Chain A
Amino acid sequence: GENVEQHPSTLSVQEGDSAVIKCTYSDSASNYFPWYKQELGKGPQLIIDIRSNVGEKKDQRIAVTLNKTAKHFSLHITETQPEDSAVYFCAASASGGSYIPTFGRGTSLIVHP
């Protein structure tokens, strides 16, 4: 089955700095890679996703890159703000047969004002 590794487990940055979270996956059939943000007291919510036919996707201050050959993908947050503080999860899944996603262990991002 799929195995998703996520690093780091904790990331502490100053407001305005950039934050990068990295994930690797093992199953070459995976073709959909979402990122979720979980704020305190809430369930995870999708913030950005990428499919395997795209190498990079950007949405305002967040971007995701995918290297399918190396089987790794990363979340980049620029100009971090205190409200970016949360737990971030990466996941990998395949449309169709293996539709059930495999999640990384999560990264706790702390943005200091």
Chain B
Amino acid sequence: ETGVTQTPRHLVMGMTNKKSLKCEQHLGHNAMYWYKQSAKKPLELMFVYSLEERVENNSVPSRFSPECPNSSHLFLHLHTLQPEDSALYLCASSHRVAARNEQFFGPGTRLTVL
């Protein structure tokens, strides 16, 4: 148990569906991240929220839309996804300014797009 929870753990959706992934951290961190992990590919940073600042990977398609209503919650809204979007989506949190900015990861949401 890392203090970062993600729901749902598994999600199967069609290309026309709209769904959201949820992440919650109880560690008092001030930075939260979304990563995409595909088979045989490196961890891909998608979005970072920290102190009301958003950093995004410009290669992430607009069909992924993040939302961070407060420092403890992070969402990833999904719409009109493609089969190649099937992957493990990991949420992480950390301190932004600290002696060490160790990341704490959630267990991930395994997404399958049909």
A93 proximal to B (CB < 8 A):
yes
Additional 11 contacts, C-beta under 8 A, given A42-B107, A91-B103, A99-B96? A34-B103, A36-B103, A42-B108, A43-B90, A44-B103, A95-B101, A99-B50, A99-B101, A100-B45, A100-B48, A105-B42
Let me know if A99 and B107 touch, CB within 8 A: no
Let me know if A95 and B98 touch, CB within 8 A: yes
Complex: A46 Cα to B103 Cα, angstroms? 8
Complex: A45 Cα to B4 Cα, angstroms? 11
Question: Number of contact residues on A: which range applies?
Answer: 20 to 34
One digit per residue, 1 when the CB lies within 8 angstroms of any chain B CB and 0 when it does not, for chain A 69-99 equals: 0000000000000000000010101011001
What's the count of A-B pairs with C-beta under 8 Å? 59
Assuming the contacts A99-B94, A100-B45, A104-B42, asked whether A32 and B107 have C-beta atoms less than 8 A apart, the reply is no
A103 proximal to B (CB < 8 A):
yes
Let me know if A103 and B43 touch, CB within 8 A: yes
Residue contacts A-B, CB under 8 angstroms, 22 given = A36-B105, A43-B4, A43-B90, A43-B105, A43-B106, A43-B108, A46-B102, A51-B99, A51-B100, A89-B43, A91-B103, A93-B101, A95-B97, A95-B98, A99-B50, A99-B101, A100-B33, A101-B101, A101-B103, A105-B41, A105-B42, A106-B42
Chain A stretch 24-71: residues in CB contact (< 8 A) with chain B: 32, 34, 36, 41-46, 49, 51
